[in-house]
């Protein structure tokens, strides 16, 4: 998978501060899942991962110089990273495709590039031309994202994935689409693969676990509680940049959620759901899941007589 050989489960922890943690990377590596680390780690912290932790994770670069310098320092050392995630909310801006191009030119075939986000065939072609191997698709579907509410911009996630997959399959050398955002239940992960996504990225489904970040002290209960916040939220701006960008609106929210325990329990549920989906449609692998699946528009997905 990708221009650099890699073998693993193509389910990815999102590069969010409360999700893409070192602890999450080590835990998910045991199940051969990939973790896109958040971009606020130092090179020393990233390199502190075990060999498996490195093999099953990806440093993240944004438009800021600091994250790019951190990645340069990581790549100067002996490491087992096979991926880098280049991430921005709006993958259509010129300086983002230039960044992807420059990273490809600087590191050549040493890493697989995951880049995004876009939601249209034009965006897929743009980032593929710049040098991306995997293209993240999704604007606005995340559970901690308020882009659609605040800006009116977005695209229905399932339709975006299907449309971008069709385009990607026509481009020689492009490894595939990463469905980023919108999954709430294990069945949603199965649907993303069935729609043709090569990888599925998860944020909210992994929030609140022991290995996640964002744990804060609740003075009303005198206990530590897990929080989850979008990386374009006001909370993220204050936490990581110590300021609020007044030029643009915050496009995310912060929520307090119930503790979920070790992430391995959720991993088992998701993996079990995907395996059963393959069995139902007679698929021996994820490629066959896409080939064997069809979709019907419905008003209600499942029976909620006794709750969700």
Q: Is 145 annotated in the active site?
A: yes
Question: What secondary structure does DSSP assign to 45-62, as a single string?
Answer: HHHTS-HHHHHTEE-EE-
Cβ(95)–Cβ(47) below 8 Å: no
Residues whose CB falls within 8 Å of the CB of residue 51, separated by 6 or more in sequence, listed in order: 80
Q: How many Cβ atoms are within 10 Å of 271's Cβ, its own excluded?
A: 16
Closest Cα to residue 123, out of 174, 85, 189, 67? Answer: 174
From the list 36, 145, 164, 183, the catalytic residue is 145
From the list 18, 60, 147, 266, the catalytic residue is 147
Q: Is 266 annotated in the active site?
A: no
* CA separation for the pair 118, 274 (Å, rounded): 25
* CA separation for the pair 198, 224 (Å, rounded): 37
In degrees, to the nearest 5, what angle opens at C-alpha 94 toward C-alphas 174 and 83? 40
Cβ(158)–Cβ(180) below 8 Å: no
Catalytic residues: 145, 147
């Amino acid at each position: 998978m990708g221009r650099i050989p890699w073998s693993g489960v193509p389910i990815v922890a999102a590069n969010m501060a409360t999700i893409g943690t070192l602890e999450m990377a080590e835990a998910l590596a045991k199940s051969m899942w990939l973790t896109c680390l958040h971009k606020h780690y130092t090179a020393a912290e990233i390199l502190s991962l075990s060999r498996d932790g490195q093999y099953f994770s990806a440093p993240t670069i944004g438009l800021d110089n600091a994250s790019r310098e951190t990645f340069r320092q990581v790549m100067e050392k002996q490491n087992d990273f096979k991926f880098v995630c280049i991430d921005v909310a709006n993958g259509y801006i010129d300086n983002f495709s230039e960044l992807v191009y420059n990273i490809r030119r600087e590191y050549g075939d040493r890493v697989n590039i995951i880049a995004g986000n876009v939601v249209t065939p034009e965006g897929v072609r743009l980032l593929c031309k710049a040098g991306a191997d995997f293209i993240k698709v999704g604007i606005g579907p995340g559970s901690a994202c308020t882009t659609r509410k605040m800006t009116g911009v977005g695209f229905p996630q399932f339709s975006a994935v299907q449309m971008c997959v069709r385009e990607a399959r026509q481009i020689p050398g492009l490894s595939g689409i990463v469905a980023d955002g919108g999954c709430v239940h294990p069945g949603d992960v199965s649907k993303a693969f069935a729609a043709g996504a090569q990888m599925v990225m998860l944020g909210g489904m992994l929030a609140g676990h022991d290995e996640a970040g964002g744990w804060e002290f609740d003075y009303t209960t005198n206990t530590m509680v897990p929080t989850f916040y979008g990386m374009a939220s006001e909370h993220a701006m204050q936490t990581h940049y110590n300021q609020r960008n007044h030029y643009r609106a915050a496009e995310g929210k912060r929520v307090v959620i119930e503790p979920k325990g070790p992430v391995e329990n959720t991993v088992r549920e998701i993996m079990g759901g995907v395996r059963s989906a393959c069995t139902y449609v007679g698929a021996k692998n994820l490629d066959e899941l896409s080939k064997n699946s069809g979709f019907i528009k419905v008003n209600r997905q499942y029976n909620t007589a006794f709750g969700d």
